[in-house]
Amino acid sequence: MNEVNSISNYPVSTNKIQKNNLVSFRAETNVVKQSQNEQVDTFIKEQEKARKNAKRQQNFSNFVLGTIALSSLATLGFFAHQSGWFKRFKPEFMDLSAEKKLGDMALPVSQRKAANRITTRVKNYAEMIKKGGKKGSAILFYGPPGTGKNTFAYGIAKEFPNAKFLEMDISKMNSKWHGESEQNVLGTMKAAIKYARKHKNEKVFVFIDEIDSVMMQDHGNGAKLSNDILNAFKKGFNRLTNEENIIVMGATNLKINPELAMAEGKALDTAMLDRFAQKVLVDLPTKEQILESVNKFYNNPNRDMIDSSLKNIKDSRWNKIANFLSDKKHATSFRKLNDILGSAAESTEVGKNVTFEEIINAIKDNQHNLNVTDIEMKAFLDSLK
């Protein structure tokens, strides 16, 4: 018989209490288990979330670091390329086929003798050294602008059938990148040396135009290039002249006489001047040179639309024109003479031959280039009537 307990004023069955307690216990147990499971799930989810966040952060960090590394490599590569670290130098030789030979030039006696000395020295270099001659072949051409220094150098090189001619313009080798200017100079010179050593049977002419850009005595504001490139040039110059089959040629418009140069404030470095075995003056053309040059120009078989009077170099008008143009105060260079002859051709009417009239008009048109006053021009024109 079931016992009945009284709780408060209400009777409660013992069995019912036990059942309620069991249900409550099981419910509490289930709640605890569910709570524990939820906590475990939450922990796992939080851990997974944390792991994913950490992975994202790691990936982002790797991306940032990779981007920085690639950017650094790209910057380094660009700088290296610009600064010439990976630059490969190869000598670019000039084609001399269209240039004049020495025999086709209107040269004064002094230049013909100089050309003979130079070619003899180059052809007999080994013998010259045995006789006590100065080692190295370096020639400096100096004189006013437009007198044909470059043309003279081309002509000398053409005396050697197997010659290679490398023309260097140092002013164009200067760079804003630190060290690149020096590398451009030395790299070009080393390339020439490498070629010369592989081709001992060839003469390699290295022509340096406006060489005064690295030969100025004043290396301050008056110098065209920095001391770094000057020092690099000196090193390269010495290496070039140590090669038996390399002939270094330089050209400058400046005076090499120290007193005259100092008076103009443009003195060349004496140590560099001493490195040249020969120094050749290429001066303004004389009357005889002008007449010879005109004769060669108009008696060229390729020019057949020329009046016969122009081909007669003994015509008195040519004598007066040559006298006028050869006056030193007019500073008539071969370049200016060619400009006059070219202007005469271009001003001639189509279908007609060039005559003295076009020559005279061309001289008048070039009055400002010849430093001629109106009075001098009038006197000259009157003499031709």
Instruction: Determine how β-strand 246-252 pairs with β-strand 4-7.
Output: unpaired
pLDDT of residue 38: 65
SS3 217: coil
Give me the phi and psi of 18, to 5 degrees please.
Answer: -60, -45
Contact criterion met (CB below 8 Å) for 206 and 168: yes
The burial of 362, by beta-carbon neighbours within 10 Å (0-12 exposed, 13-18 middle, 19 or more buried), is given as buried
User: Tokens at residue 227, please?
Assistant: 């001391």
How are the residues of the chain apportioned to helix, strand and coil, as percentages rounded to the nearest 5?
60, 10, 30
Q: Report d(CA 40, CA 341) in Å as an integer.
A: 103
Q: CA 280, 115, 196: angle at the middle one, nearest 5?
A: 95
Q: Report d(CA 17, CA 22) in Å as an integer.
A: 9
Q: Could you tell me which residues come within 8 angstroms of residue 171 by beta carbon, excluding any fewer than 6 positions away?
A: 210, 213, 224, 225
User: Tokens at residue 370, please?
Assistant: 């010849």
Q: What is the pLDDT along the chain (385 residues), one digit of tens a residue?
A: 444 444 444 454 555 555 555 555 555 555 555 566 666 667 677 777 777 777 777 777 777 776 776 666 655 555 544 444 445 678 889 999 989 999 999 999 999 999 999 999 899 888 888 888 777 789 999 999 999 999 999 999 999 998 999 998 776 665 545 456 677 788 888 999 999 999 999 999 999 988 887 777 554 544 455 566 777 788 889 999 999 999 999 999 888 876 666 666 677 778 788 888 889 999 999 999 999 999 999 999 999 999 999 999 999 999 999 999 999 999 999 999 999 999 999 999 999 999 999 999 999 999 998 989 999 999 999 999 8
pLDDT of residue 136: 79
Contact criterion met (CB below 8 Å) for 204 and 247: yes
Q: What is the CA radius of gyration of the chain?
A: 45
Q: Report d(CA 42, CA 135) in Å as an integer.
A: 92
Q: Report d(CA 356, CA 289) in Å as an integer.
A: 19
pLDDT of residue 347: 94
Instruction: Determine how β-strand 4-7 pairs with β-strand 204-209.
Output: unpaired
Q: Report d(CA 277, CA 140) in Å as an integer.
A: 8
Residue whose C-alpha is closest to residue 145's, from 332, 17, 7: 332
The burial of 324, by beta-carbon neighbours within 10 Å (0-12 exposed, 13-18 middle, 19 or more buried), is given as buried
SS3 248: strand
Residue whose C-alpha is closest to residue 381's, from 358, 361, 351: 361
